[in-house]
Amino acid sequence: MFNSLSDRLTATFKNLRGKGRLSEADIDGTAREIRRALLDADVAVPVVREFIAKIKARALGAEVSEALNPGQQVVKIVNEELVGILGGDTRELRLAKNPPTVIMLAGLQGAGKTTLAGKLAAHLKGKGHTPILAACDLQRPNAVNQLQVGGERAGVPVFAPHPGISSEAETPTGDPVQVARDAVSEARSKLHDIVIIDTAGRLGVDQELMRQAADIKAAVGAHETLFVIDSMIGQDAVNTAQAFNEGVDFTGVVLTKLDGDARGGAALSVAQVTGKPVMYASTGEGLKDFEVFHPDRMARRILDMGDVLSLIEQAEQSWDKAEAAKMAQKFADQEDFTLEDFRSQMQQLKKMGSMKKLLGMMPGAQGMRQQLDQFDDSSVDRIEAIINSMTPHERVAPKIINGSRRARIAKGSGVHVSEVNQLLERFGQAQKMMKKMAGGGGMPGGMPGMP
Ligand code: GDP
């Protein structure tokens, strides 16, 4: 996520670190580097220009020259201005006074609308809403089916046009405006409080497409129109966003494919250029690869200051409280940490989503990107498989796991014996560390023995 931009910015700030005073030349040099980094990341030229002017004006002013640590003060300024570019405060979904709230998705074909519809529905359902999805993309073959699959995964019903639901190869027929109207009536009669409308996109901006989206919006009186944009599309993002802003006057932006390693900076320009806030981000193809977009947290991630708040929130959403309390009690009682406990912690962590992504939210994560890039999420599954292949007794008393047991466990879990050895060795070290911590009254933190 914004990896190369992040690398460039953090490298620039390294040069400022520890300087007692910043000369005008230091500030000019830093501004130049930041400018280049933003342009190389595809941030739109006018956005970069304004950003740099603000940074320079502030960096030359009293808040930096009088700061105890001028380098850090500059980072703080860049952080604040970056939050500004990204839209300032987090923008919550505006719910209609009289349900259902109608949310319409608009954007080019392939932007990720249909995928997002399922994720957004799952997210809202998790918050206690009762959404329904409306399949109004009647142009792309298979879009209705795809939405139905997404709805099924999210556990949310899908309203689709009646006659002519597509088979794989066919395109469904029907009038998308009418389908949208019917979906809203359906929501009203079945007491769904939110309708999410998936609309058709085209490969490029065209009048017909825009008119259809505007017609749907007007017909159902959408409360929120979300412009969905692929963050990898480069400098074209600004033109596309402007066209949609004029065509459908959207109320918020969703950035998709933020998991890609592309420069992604064009997406950073969209909020600034259109004056509409980024509300959500999509970071993969899975249902959970979705986040509410917090400009302040995203800026911290880009500047490698970590996004601990999101990490905690994800933990709160996924961790089983009873399990966590049980674990805490075990430590308080100084009971042995067993491989059963280890496996259960790992399962809890897995529920939070990709380990790679979670680690990426830690402060300083960008600095260990190479290790992170090499981190293989499937290694977690392999560790789990190894532990699953042990007998319950082996899990609580790993000392008994001798050579022949190791060979049996390796065979059972489909790994090499060296992986079993490695796990046991790391587990042994972690167990010792935990004992020390419990003895010292401290709580254990994080995952022991992770690769
Ligand atoms: P639509 O035409 O706007 O409805 O786009 P789709 O939802 O069909 O998405 C187009 C392609 O992008 C599909 O292959 C999706 O699986 C993929 N996709 C959507 N969102 C993301 C994302 O956040 N990350 C990645 N890596 N792929 C995505």
CA of 290 to the centre of ligand 1 (A): 12
* Sequence ranges of the chain with CATH classification 1.10.260.30: 312-439
Interacting residues of 173 by C-beta distance below 8 A, sequence separation 6+: 138, 161, 163, 164
Give the pLDDT of residue 324. Answer: 72
ipTM: 0.98
Q: Supply the pLDDT for residue 445.
A: 44
Higher pLDDT, 247 or 360: 247
Residues 6+ apart with CB under 8 A from 332: 438
Comparing CA positions, the residue from 192, 32, 42 lying closest to residue 121 is 192
Query: What residues contact residue 421 under an 8 Å CB cut-off, 6+ apart?
Result: 406
To test ligand 1's pocket by mutation, which of 2, 105, 108, 115 has the most ligand atoms within 8 angstroms of CB? Answer: 115
DSSP letter string, 404-440: HHHHHHHHHHTS-HHHHHHHHHHHHHHHHHHHHHHHT
Question: What would the CATH number be for the domain defined by 101-305?
Answer: 3.40.50.300
| Most confident region among 107-116, 358-367, 424-433 by mean pLDDT | 107-116
- Given the candidates 3.30.499.10, 1.10.760.10, 1.20.120.140, 3.40.630.10, the CATH classification of the domain at 3-85 is 1.20.120.140
pLDDT in the model for residue 308? 66
CATH 1.20.120.140 positions along the chain are: 3-85
- What tens digit of pLDDT does each residue of 332-388 get? 776 777 888 888 888 877 777 777 777 777 766 766 667 777 777 788 888 899 999
Q: What is the pLDDT of residue 439?
A: 58
Distance from the alpha carbon of residue 114 to the mean position of ligand 1, in angstroms: 7
- What per-residue confidence (pLDDT) applies to 441? 44
**pLDDT score of 172 more than 70:** no
pLDDT in tens, 45-64: 999 999 999 999 999 888 88
**Beta carbon of 112 within 6 Å of any ligand 1 atom:** yes
pLDDT value, residue 188: 95
To which H or E segment does residue 133 belong? strand 131-136
Residue 243 has what pLDDT?
92
Q: Mapping DSSP to helix (H, G, I), strand (E, B) and coil, where does residue 95 land?
A: coil
What is the Å distance from ligand 1's center to 280 Cα?
14
Residue closest to 226 by CA, chosen among 115, 113, 139, 143: 113
pLDDT of residue 1 exceeding 80, the answer is no
Poorest-pLDDT segment among 53-57, 101-105, 141-145, 195-199: 141-145
165: pLDDT confidence band, cut at 50, 70 and 90? very low
Asked if residue 377 has its Cβ within 6 Å of ligand 1, the reply is: no
Where is mean pLDDT largest: 137-141, 161-165, 294-298, 447-451?
294-298
Binding residue per annotation — 111? yes
| Token digits of residue 137 | 């993309």
pLDDT of residue 32: 95
pLDDT for position 87: 87
* pLDDT of 290 over the 70 cut: yes
Q: Which of 51-55, 157-161, 279-283, 364-368 shows the lowest mean pLDDT across its residues?
A: 364-368
User: Tokens 């990709």 correspond to what residue?
Assistant: 354
Q: Is 231 near ligand 1, meaning CB less than 6 Å away?
A: no
- Residue 451 reports pLDDT greater than 50: no
Secondary structure (3-state) at 196: strand
437 — pLDDT class (breaks 50, 70, 90): low
- The residue whose two tokens read 């809202």 is 124
| Percentage of the chain exceeding pLDDT 90 | 48
Residue 283 annotated as part of some ligand binding site: no
**Residue 199 marked ligand-binding:** yes
Q: What is the pLDDT of residues 381-419, one digit of tens each?
A: 888 999 999 999 999 899 999 999 999 999 999 999 999
Question: Structure tokens of 335?
Answer: 């009971």
Indicate where the chain has its CATH 3.40.50.300 domain(s).
101-305
Residue that wins the pLDDT comparison between 208 and 36? 36
> Does the Cβ of 283 fall within 6 Å of ligand 1?
yes
CATH architecture of 312-439: Orthogonal Bundle (1.10)
Please tell me what DSSP assigns to residue 239.
Answer: H
In the three-class reduction of DSSP (H, G, I as helix; E, B as strand; rest coil), residue 302 is classed as helix
Q: Decide if pLDDT at 76 tops 80.
A: yes
More confident residue, 194 or 433: 194
pLDDT of residue 166: 45
Q: What is the mean pLDDT of the chain?
A: 85
Q: Quick one: pLDDT at residue 149?
A: 94
